[in-house]
Amino acid sequence: LRQECNPILPHEIQKYGKIGKKMIQYIKNPKKGWIGIAGPQIWIPKQILVAGIPRSRDENNYQVICMINPEIISYSDITDIQEEWCLSLPGTLWLVKRPIGIKVRYQDTQGRKIAREIIWFWARVVQHEIDHIHGILFIDKLYKTSIAP
């Protein structure tokens, strides 16, 4: 989980696109109750993740998509502190401060290049999963407060 993942090369898109589609089906399983997973969490040291992303402003209307070689190209200036948990650290729940919006560039399972803006909870999920492909765990970003004596 602490390993920086390698990018998926153009000649590997088809292979990892198929893996991404399987990851999507795994996340969509209602018995799991998960919203995202990254390659290193399933022993694939490549830059691939799946995450729930809204289709519209209705946050209950979402789809699960695969992102290959995702890169955050801009962050909101506004941040928010929320609880996060992770499949890799079950039973652990901590406060993490993150930007409330991001613009991300990635390839889909067909290798098409996509850029999109994502906000609120969904931006948090994507940031969390992108951290995984860079060997970063959410516990590395815990929000700490100081209490004056």
Q: How far is CA 127 from CA 11, 60, 89, 98, 134, in A?
A: 26, 19, 17, 8, 11
Residues 128 and 86 sit within 8 Å (Cβ to Cβ)? yes
Catalytic residue among 12, 59, 83, 129: 129
Active site residue 129: yes
Element (H, E) at 81: strand 79-84
Side chain identity, residue 130 = I
- Torsion, Cα 122 123 124 125, to 10 degrees, reads 50
* 8 DSSP 8-state letter: P
> 106 is written with which tokens?
């990635």
Sorted by sequence, the CB contacts under 8 Å of residue 19 that are 6+ apart come out as 44, 48
Q: Which residues are catalytic?
A: 129
